[in-house]
Every structure is written in C-alpha cells, then in structure tokens.
Amino acid sequence: MTASPYGATFALWRTGCPDPWNAYTHHAFVQGLGDGTLPQASFLHYLVQDYIFLVHFARAWSLGVVKAETLDEMRVCAGTVDALVNHEMALHVKTCAAAGIDEVTLFAATEEFENLAYTRYVMDAGLQGDFLDLMAALAPCCFGYGEIGQRLAKSAAPDTPYGDWIETYADTAYQSVMVSVGQMMDAAVTRRLGPDPAESARWPHLQGRFATATRLEIAFWDMGLRGA
C-alpha cells in the first residue's frame, strides 16, 4: 500500500482498485488539460456538466451532515458544502461566463447520463447506507482531483489554457481541505470499524463503493471527451 497525504483509509481503497484508479487519474482528458491539447469544446462540455455535478455533490455532502455521528464529521461535511458552493463552483461560473454561457443556462443544462449515474449513485449510497457508505462513494472525487491537481501543477505545459482549472485543485487551501477530509474519514472508519478496518465484514462492500465511484469518474472524463 502506498501512503497518501489524504490518509490511511483512502490509501487502502486506492490500493484495492489500482487499474481503475490509474485509468481515472491518468485519463486522456487529464493529459489534455496538462499539455493543453484538450479541445475547448470538450472542456466547456465537461465544465457545464460539472456545474450540475457539483450541485448534486453539495446535496450529497449535505447528507453527510445528516448522517454524521460526531461534531467533527458534521464540521468537515458542512465545510465541504461551503467549499463547493462558494468556491469550486466559482471557477465554473467564471470560465463559462468568459465563453458566453451564463449561470441560468448552466443551472438549466440537460444532464448527460454519465452525470446522472454518478451523482445519483453517490446520493443513493448515502441514503441506503450509513456515513461510511457515503464517504466511500465520495472519496474518489476528492482525492482523485487532489492527486491530479498536484501532479499537473508540477508537470503541465506552461502555456496550457487550463491553468485556472489546474490551480483550483493544486491550490494549498484546496489541498488542506482534502487533507482534513482524509483525516475525518480515517477517524470515522476507526470509530465504526475499529483499528483494523480491512478485516471488518463491511470492508468489501465499502471497497466496492469506492471502486464503482472511481469507474464513474472514468465515464465522466469519457463523456467530456465525447463532447456535446
């Protein structure tokens, strides 16, 4: 298992599905953001869909507040809702406005099936299961973009037009929110499953949720590349 700044639970989950994890974090869409070859139409198609995605992820993190068992869990989930609706979505609004797409149009965009599948899968994981089911389904989005942002900040072409996107996820404030999310998830897992969570009867199910959400991330990039 390779250690991660985002905690031991994430490191275990990532090690449990190495091929999907690699396909997600090294997708052709991601390489295109880094080297600047991603067509602008693909990027905008992705970004409009991602705005809708974030609306639903804010709902899912809000469900985390509902399902939390400690004030720390509640605090981190509420902080993530704030980061989503007041910070991350600002990138989408600004970038789309510059391309002539206003926020009303964004909010009314028709969802692609890949978007529907992913966002509703995560919400259902939380509704059907407990806090850990929800966190296992939410983890790939947080830590995958964290890893991608850090890697592209070091390796991207200096003239890529996607510098703002990369900076959003490489940003130290964003990275430290993700570190707090990882610490909270570690504590949540220890609290419910004890010190050796991978031995728990629940572990394969949680690992499965993480792997499914990771595969849905791959499909989301594929959808972006396919274009409108």
Annotated catalytic residue 103: no
In the shown chain, the binding pattern of residues 36 to 75 toward ligand VIB, with x for contact by CB under 6 A and - for none, equals --------------x--xx--x------------------
3-state helix, strand and coil shares in percent for the chain, rounded to the nearest 5? 80, 0, 20
Q: Which of 200, 220, 177 is nearest to 12 (CA)?
A: 200
The correct pick among 13, 24, 145, 203 for binding ligand VIB (CB under 6 A) is: 145
Residue 122 touches ligand VIB, criterion: CB under 6 A: no
From residue 222, give the alpha-carbon distance in Å to each of 74, 83, 128, 197, 219: 33, 26, 28, 33, 5
Question: Of 21-29, 62-70, 77-85, 191-199, which segment contacts ligand VIB by CB under 6 A?
Answer: 77-85
Annotated catalytic residue 96: no
156: left (phi over 0), alpha (psi -120 to 50) or beta: beta
112 or 133, CB closer to ligand VIB? 112
CA 185 to chain centre: 14
Site residues for ligand VIB per CB under 6 A: 50, 53-54, 57, 80, 83-84, 88, 141-142, 145, 217, 220
